[in-house]
Structure formats: structure tokens, C-alpha cells
Amino acid sequence: MGISIALVGLVCCIRRRGLALDVDSTVVRALFITLAGLAITVAWMVSWMVVELAIYDWRDPAWRSRVYDLLSRANLEVAIEEDRTG
């Protein structure tokens, strides 16, 4: 999904750049250039989030599986205390 969003942002950036080159108005050209910059920034951030998840988030499942393995080998002792008040 992140790669798809990044590709859409890249296509939007290229399209806005093309529109900016074809327009004669300076204000509209500046708007298209700003939108192109925004689109490429969004594409970069989304694609980086996908890479970051692949690089850093593999540790959490490994850590969690070690914790579950430790819990599965733990001994459980149940102690029943008698009522001493009566």
C-alpha cells in the first residue's frame, strides 16, 4: 500500500511539473511547482515509512516470540492459604 501511495505521489509530481512548464501565469506556475514539491515529499515520506518498517520492525516479533517462549517454559505454582481468622 505504501509503495502504491508513493507511486501515485510520484505521478502527481511529474504531472504537476508538466503543467507548470505549460502555464504562462507566474502565480499558477508557482502553485503547480508547490504542489509538485508537496507530492514528491509525500511520496518520499510514505516510501521511507515502508522501508523503515522493513528495517526496524522485524525486531518486535522476534522479541515477542522470545517472551512467549520464556512464558511457555515457566513453572506455575498455586498456593492456597487457609483461613486463620476463625
What does the pLDDT look like over 14-60, one tens digit per residue?
777 777 777 788 888 788 778 878 877 877 887 787 777 777 766 66
Residue 16 forms part of a structural domain? yes
What pLDDT sits at residue 58? 66
Residue 10 forms part of a structural domain? yes
Residue 9 forms part of a structural domain? yes
pLDDT band at 78 (very low <50, low <70, confident <90, very high): confident
Handedness of CA 64, 66, 69, 74 (dihedral sign): negative
Residue 62 forms part of a structural domain? yes
Tell me, what DSSP letter sits at residue 44? H
Residues 16, 30 contacting (CB under 8 angstroms): no
Number of domains in the chain: 1
Residue 12 forms part of a structural domain? yes
Taking the chain, what is the end-to-end CA distance rounded to the nearest angstrom?
A: 66
- Domain range spanning residue 68? 2-72
Residue 78 forms part of a structural domain? no
Residue 83 forms part of a structural domain? no
Three-state DSSP at 46 gives: helix
Residue 32 forms part of a structural domain? yes
